Structure 1
Amino acid sequence: MEMKNNHLFLVLFLCFSLGTNLSIGGYTISMNESVSSGQTILSSSGTFELGFFTPGNSFKYYLGIWYKNISSQTVIWVANRETPVSDAAHLTIIQGNLVLLDKFQSLVWSTNISRSVPPKNLVIAVLRDDGNLILSDLSSNSSTPLLLWQSFDYPTHAFLPGGKLGYDKRTQRKQALISWKDLNDPSPGLFSMELDPQRDQLVIKWNRTTQYWASSSWNGRTFSSVPGMRLNYIFNYSYIDNENESYFTYSLYNSEIPSKFIMDVSGQIKQLLWSTSLDDWYPFWAQPTEQCDVYANCGAFGVCNNVNSSCNCLSGFKARSDAEWNSNNYSSGCVRVRDQEVQCNGITEDKDSFWMNSIVSLPASQDTNITVAEASQCRSACFNNCSCNAYTYDVSGACSIWTGDLFNLQQLSKTETEKTIFVKSGSPEDQTKAKKSTKLVVLLSSTTAFIVLFIGSFSYIYYRRRRRRMTKGTDRINDTQGTQISHLDKIGGGEIIDVPYFRLETILVATDNFSNANKLGQGGFGPVYKGIFPGGKEIAVKRLSSHSGQGIDEFKNEVTLIAKLQHRNLVRLLGYCINGKEQILLYEYMPNKSLDTFIFDGELCKLLDWKKRYDIILGIGRGLAYLHHDSRLRIIHRDLKTSNILLDQDMNPKIADFGLARIVEGRRTEAKTEKIVGIYGYMSPEYASDGLFSLKSDVFSFGVVILEMISGRKNTGFYQSEEALNLLGYAWRMWIEERAMQLTEKSLLESCNRSEVMKCINVALLCVQEDSNDRPKMSDVIVMLVGEGDTISANKSLSFGETIVSSGEKFELGFFKPAQTKAKKSMKLKALLSSITALMFLIIGSFSYIYYRRRMAKRADRSKGTQGAHKSHWHKAEGEAKVLMNENSDEAIDVPYFHLETILAATDNFSNANNLGQGGFGPVYKGIFP
């Protein structure tokens, strides 16, 4: 009886100490119980669930733990990942071990506890609320249960808050995260992550051997080379190093947010949080940041595209598995078009012995380096080596030879230094057939290109003519006289720009000859005036000064960029004008002028309470994030400041002045200039000193703007000399000394939300860090700003709002698998080529005929004298220009205009005899033209 009471006490103690309500069949597995297919056990709060699952469309069963209340099943631990079972398997406790038995009662998996546990001891398994499955002996003489085993010590592909990733110095056992083989196969994949205890850093390996990424060493707070780890209020990272073990772990300040740290099938380690608004996992950070930096991402002989992270095969190769490539799994790589080994003995070298592949980065390491006098010697050295797969040669005489499979090839952008590798093509039969098919492909491509060029030129001429008519119509609504002069080609370098051109006379009338009464202010490149077109439409006219330093290049840059951008937080360009030395831009009118007008004025600043300022900060951030990540172009603004933030009638912010903006392509995020322009208070350190600008330069400027909006002080004119030389230094000192709220402008103290102010100050300080690598991306800035929560003190974290945009996701813009045409199909291809050519010419002929007939019909219709009054809306009727305008876009509509007299005659003065019926907006009549 005493023993039974002791057991009962230990069971109750375990329940309370582990935070789990012990209930047979609910949260535990006892020695006389088992879990079979269709049965599960839950943690006490219902957060985690243990049971059998079948990934994807598989019929294989795995024992695992997953999040219970997340819409997409998220498995975080798998017991039998190498040995799946059927649905007749079950989990139970035998001789103190958790064991998984198949339908034949054979052992599949076990906790494999080496120490012996007496059969009479009470051993129990409990699934805790932190996702840890523990096995404990309740019969211990100790007052606390004896822990026998826990899943946290044996992570598979993921580990949760409170878990460990490390090295046991006593047993020499390493813990590692090993990726799944693919998204629907939990068996061990190619990628693994572990802790290097010698260097105190995380490393990722391919195939358990080849290391391709390593973090920096632990600096006491984080691994500093992982920007997402630094200065955040969501995760608390720790590194423990003592005489027994070294391990890395983490926790959440808000433990209610589901999270996971995984070694992903993509070859990246990812820290993810569950977003209820997105109903998906949000990647907080990932390393390596670029998919193409993952070792063997595209497999053997595959080339990774840096722009969209897709893969294609080298010339002469094809995908090894079409099914895998179609599912975006490229790890199987490529094989030669003909599945034969490369032959060399007894074969004569010719010009088709190698495939030339340009604009690719070279494989990781070559097998042989030799010095030769000329390229032909390097070529022969590879050709005569039956094991050689590829070679490179440079003008210095360096010859590199690769004998194994080629991995880590990357497609470079055209702006990067071109590198060429020559890959052995295969057998002579391959070469002969390849030559024939290549000629056929060239012929087919040439014919297709000619046809496309013809259609494109035809369409371009038609579009140009149509745009010219529309531009003239737009200008004449503003009482223009004389001939319309188009400057579209002068601005866009031959590219049609969808921005109306206005004559100088029209603008002079609208601004009252640039009178001082209409002057709105003075920008960095010249004055800005208010203008009013006939009909009352208000515009802002930016007149570039000849002394401003903004030349025709900057002017062209601003016109072409804004014409291609559409976002609610970017100012809209309505038109432009070039006349002699006059360079003028027409924008939508912003009645509340610029942001600096309010925040630096002692009285006007009171009109912007904290809610409005917070909305403005978010608006500027979203506009900047659009420029950096979401627009068709990746754009660096380079001149973000409060005077370039305009406010509409509802105080919505609009980023303006794109004269200094630059476009960056591909993976590039930075550039350099010798001409440093802008306001030093908003310039990042690297730009001000070395002319280096990047996306992170705009992030720095954004941080300055936030601090100025909160403090109401200019960074450049800051005079708190006893505290710091500028606003940024002062803000850092206030933050470190936990006096950050002292930055807040006095007029905001009553209306401000303290947690939002502190959050914004924190984000601003992250943005203005001296090292550009430490600054967050704008997409991450938006996530931090829209995060929900009462406070950002050390025991709270930021959650996610409805405007989270998934970042770090790999957008598949499409992948390209080169297919080599076989010689035996050459006749079919020739016939296909002839058919396509004939069909295309038939289409072109038909298109041209239809266009000609329609144009002749329009001319005939317009030439008719409809009582002498029917005119196109592009021509003057009775001395007055008539153009139908779209109310919402200022765009001229290409629809013929008819005089009222013509319509009255056609309908017999709207007689009842011609009334066809009543429409929703009025009656409909039948009319007859002469």
Structure 2
Amino acid sequence: MEGISITILMLIYGVICSILTSSMGVDTLSPTQLIKDGDTIISSGGMFELGFFSPGNPKNRYLGIWYKNVSNGAIVWVANRDTPLNTTSGILKVSSNGILEIVSVGNTNTTIWSSSNVSSKKVIINPVAQLLDNGNLVIREKSRTIWQSFDYPGDTYLTGMKIGKDLITGIDRWMVSWKSPNDPSPGEYVIWMDTNGFPQLLERQGSVLHTRFAPWNGLSVIGLSSVIGNVMPVMNDFVMNEKEIYFTISVDGSAISKTYLDPDGNIKVMSWVDSTQTWQTILATKPNDTCAQYGLCGPYGTCNGGNVPVCSCMEGFEPKRAEEWNARNWSSGCVPRTPLGCGDGNVFKVISGVKLPDTRSSWYNLSINLGECKMECSRNCSCTAYAISNITSGGNGCLLWFGDLMDVRESDGTEDLYFKIALSKFTIERNKSLGKPLGQGGFGSVYKGVLEDGREIAVKRLSKSSRQGIDEFKNEVRCIAKLQHRNLVKLLGYCIQGDETMLIYEYMANKSLDLTIFDVSRSLMLDWPQRFHIIHGIARGLLYLHQDSRLRVIHRDLKAANVLLDNDMNPKISDFGLARRFKGYETEANTNKVVGTYGYIAPEYAVHGLFSVKSDVFSFGVLVLEIVSGKKNRGFSHKEQRDNLLGHVSLAYAYSTIVKIICPKLRFNFPKSDHHAEDRPTMSSVVVMLDHESILPPPKQPAFYTEVSSCENVELSMTPTHNSVNNVTITTLNGR
């Protein structure tokens, strides 16, 4: 009887197990079901499978998820990485309070792994575990997800996962490599999103920071990957808001793909190829990339794998320990040649095309532009550098660094880094590249210097080959020395000694106007209120010259290159070498030598040699159109016309398409001007118009209608007429 009883019980147990197994859904697991070693569940689309497996050592059993139809490298997630089973007696179940558990069935029925972040004290009704077709294992209470495997990635990232932090729940998602290809226990390498300062991806080897991937720049994460071949594009994105901060990757056009952190710390984006039954690497980090090592060149050092040696110091810095650098040990980094102060003795230098420095000691404001970013860094004595955080946002997004600049890499990105250095006293250093605001002008070389009291200065040095001579030098001194106005550049002094002839001006931090409005990236800094502010300032400066100063001065070479911008983008008219002074009762004059810059010269001046305050007004009108349109009058071309900018604007006005000439960033009603001297307003009228938004009269067709030459310097001899001056010559001087 005993034997019969035991047999009946075993039969009943077998029937119960059979019922439980047969009632299990294809992709789900409920509290009344369990998965034994050898059983699996499959996602609804047949893409993924979940069950027990042994990667290399047949004695160790793990619960994992893998691509069902992939023959190798298919494991994408492992539950019990730290605690493998050493038998095949393990089961997976869902408790009534919604906790997944791996239990080693035996005398003690030991739980070796559980989804323990779900509180056992919380009442959960009818929880169900489900394997989704994207590889995510979720526990749901009706439609609410209470746990998911995507929150706990291993060495594999699948499309739909997030690397980063949930700021509401506190969940931090990172990748951890396997110890070896056959051992899924946690390896040495971890990739995570560090949210100290501006968020960035970091990789550590054990407790040592191994690699840093530059922060998201609006397009990609610099340093994360390098192109292996011309294959399917990899899409990535970065999200930062009050709820979460994370990074995502996806492969466009691939049904089976993964991002894999191998046991050696290399990252590979891979796609499965059915025809060859292999994984194809689309993107990967370079395993032998010298510059990938974090902080290889130390503070203020830059790494460039194409150079020998790979490390160098930033401009204005020198090796901290020269003997170590000579021995190829760069970890001590660089120190400034002159310590940073807290005043006007500091300037910014730029490195282009870099991976930005470590942002853990940074501050950011995503709503301010590059100019405002510079001002923020200038005002803060602890700020060491600044940059734009998002190269796709129209120039907005500010990053400031405080403390040492670490892990800068050259020729590995698209960002510009502006870093602060101190200039030595009593030194004048020349920047040999044009457009730094130092360079070459019609007068000669332009240098930058610092006075003993720390004030920055610009020094113009007359060169022997200059097209301007001592007469223009003296004329500039006479004109500007007696003029004081907020919209005129200030002459601080001059020098005539032996062969040396120099003019010393206040330094303008934002260079000349032409370098801003005609540059694609810098022009993004100027919205309409800023452009209007510049136009208004130029108008006030001209009004002072024409009417309010002790002298009546005609500039005769007003152009974008001769308007300088200070630290706050205030315009200041410069270069008075060609200016003419009038007595109080004089309003115009004739000359047989027409000077100025082609494209800005008024018609009556160019043809008849007649100049007046209205000559400057013509130049001002051209300048306004350039500021509004972002295009140069000289060299302007249109596919359907041979007009210069003035002719193009006139036609656009006639055909009611004037809005098309406006810089695309701007949408406003712009000021208009005319070409006939008697019709042009005075500068006092212009200022009133700008101040009170007066309705302007319609423009007439411009006199200079087509572009006749693209040459830099133009010299024309005119045939005399009854109104002309014999032997009139137009000479183009490019000034500063």
Range class of TM-score, shorter chain: 0.3 to 0.5
Q: Which has the higher helix share?
A: 1
Q: Which has the higher strand share?
A: 2
Query: What TM-score results when the alignment is normalised by the length of structure 1?
Result: 0.29
Query: What TM-score results when the alignment is normalised by the length of structure 2?
Result: 0.36
The structure whose RCO (Cα within 8 Å, separation 6+) is larger is: 1
